[in-house]
Structure 1
Amino acid sequence: MKILITGSTGYLGSTVVSILKQDSSIKIFGIDIKSPERESSYELFIRGSVTDPKVMAKLFEEAKPDVAIHLAFVVNALHDESKEDEIAIRGSLNFLECCKEHKVKKIIFMSSAAACGAHPDSQQPYTESSPVKGNKAYSYSRLKAETDRIAQKFMHDCPDSNFVILRPCLFVGPNTDNCFFEMLKFPLLPMIFEDGKTKDPDFQFIHELDMAKCIVAAIEKDVRGIFNIAGNGTLKYSDMALIAGKRRIALPFWLLYPATTLLWKLHLIGSPPGQLDFIRYPWLMDNSKMKRELFIPEKTTEEAFREFIDSR
């Protein structure tokens, strides 16, 4: 089996590669802007960008993959939204157009729970058919929503492919590098005070190894469609602070948002202000379809988060 992976040297991609390499019959073809630690793991690795259509065309022509997995994305926000847009949208379109041209049998597209967004009026938990609205003020969420919609259109246009869209919650583990958790670096964990109460939404997590195994399950199983991905159980934001050994401080939203905006513009923090809505409102996923048809995570939400904290 020939498997092509974009974003293959990221912390999730490299974990997927390490699992797949245990099967000697699998040939791996990868592309990323960073070289892998072991290029010998690959039949072919190209150091380059998914935004380059010629590079992508060359990779697909060389690989002629049975399975193509799109993991490449900007997770940690840049101070350049036009560049984020190019990587997310152009990169996704290049990948999907190559898949369509080469009639790839299995396509796995990584979306996110953030594609559905965090809103005060959304019906919880999100199902696979929930609206993909995103949060316009948070580029990661906005772009995950836009690329999710693009992928759904391609899924409709490629009826002969087993097209899988994965929408995971936050995945955590020893290798996690996500600006969402930058707040854990500070001695006081900010909580939003609004409408006379402190916001304390529930969160879901999946361990990074479970996430990688879930992708492998999507390769191996005869499945098609959209899957929400999350560990069992939830964890209050306040409980995350307790587990992380952080004191909490409740700040009014009218103060916290402009303060975060200023710090972001001064390049003093890596988390954009639009991310605040994700500690303001819940964005929980219904994971029943995942457990029924695709994969059952080994670790719960709390177990995954505790291991993440212990590894820091």
Structure 2
Amino acid sequence: MSEKRVLITGAAGYVGRLLGEALAARMDVVGVDIAVRDAAFPIFQMDICDAALAELMRAERITHVVHLASVVSPGRDRAREYRIDVEGTRNVLDACITAGVTHLTLTSSGAAYGYHADNPAWLSEDCPLRGNPEFAYSDHKRLVEEMLAEYRQHHPQLKQLIFRPCSIVGATTNSKISALFAGKGILDPGGHNSPFVFIWDQDVIGAIEYGVLENACGIYNLAGDGALTPQEIARLLGKSLRRPPVWLLKALLAVSFKLRLGNVQPAQVMFLQYRPVLLNTRLKRELGYRPRKTSAEAFAFFAKEALGIDIDPRTARVTHAEIPPNAVTEGQTA
């Protein structure tokens, strides 16, 4: 067994449980979460904002922390979401420093770049993080990364490994992303045909596990090779492609939000209009982790296992990156 001792926040969640079970075969692992479920490793019931987090890290002699806890599906309580996402992360960082933890892995998101019409066709790690103030998840990921940059400067003893995943899919995916493909049609507001990049959930686990084992540092987009447009996804799934006017969809969402029939606000239509399309060159060349499934293969696996639709990824018309000369740059280290 490795001498590393790992604490995972959000350990009862989708990725947290899978990761904990993978790491537990190699090293001592504990988790914290506000909800406790049966798992192959101990999970303590604890809020990540709890001041006792540092005491738990000390008691368990934690050397490595993997911070996964965040609000993935924002609702109406922006203050609560900020407390968990931003203040909770600050508490995790402070607890790490107090307890003498030497390595932090954190899952940010491609959403930190923001959903903007002028995003480049492919986003590298050097592109600015702009987020979207009207979309809590995106805005909070940006704020968290700004905080991490401050801690890298003032607390260099805590090494940081940051992943920015794209859309995560797998056999049991049940998320806002997977729900987009489970209905009768594929939605493409305004006909922007903005591509999706996918990452297999086992590649998310594999990359984090690799990073912990190697004590790796830096910032990396976590994505499979290539991308699929809504038009191509609709063709592969044998579903209709629905392209309502943006103004109409916003009007419907405004009514739904006002009547409390849903939590999606009109401004969040940009989530489908301007997808951040992540370039994974640095992940492969600098970190040394190569995803086992391409974007199309990950989506095909998800379609078969989660949706019951058997598709051949080899028939997909995949959008590939034209890698700019300056896309592969020196990794950002803690």
SS at match of 1:41: coil
The correspondence for 1:127, drawn from 124, 127, 132, is 124
Is 1:80 paired with 2:77?
yes
- Between stretches 262-271 and 87-96, larger displacement belongs to 262-271
SS at match of 2:243: strand
TM-score (norm 2): 0.85
> What's the counterpart of residue 93 of structure 1?
90
**Matched residue count:** 302
Task: State the alpha-carbon separation in 2 of the partners of residues 19 and 141 from structure 1.
Answer: 28
SS at match of 2:160: strand
Displacement, 1:63?
2.0
CA shift in 2, pair 1:181/1:259, >3 Å: farther
> What's the counterpart of residue 144 of structure 1?
141
1:1-312 aligned within 5 A:
1-23=4-26, 26-38=27-39, 41-42=41-42, 45-54=43-52, 56-193=53-190, 198-269=191-262, 271-294=264-287, 295-310=289-304, 311-312=306-307
Task: State the alpha-carbon separation in 2 of the partners of residues 170 and 264 from structure 1.
Answer: 25
SS at match of 2:168: strand
Q: 5+ residue gaps in structure 1?
A: none
Q: 1:251-290 deviations in whole A, cap 9, x for unaligned?
A: 1111111212322343434544443212211311121110
Q: Deviating runs (4+, > 4 A) in structure 1? A: none
Displacement, 1:101?
1.8
* C-alpha RMSD of the superposition: 1.7
Identity of aligned residues (%): 29
Query: Do the aligned partners of 2:170 and 2:302 also contact (CA within 8 Å) in 1?
Result: yes
CA shift in 2, pair 1:176/1:88, >3 Å: same
SS at match of 1:171: strand
CA shift in 2, pair 1:231/1:57, >3 Å: same
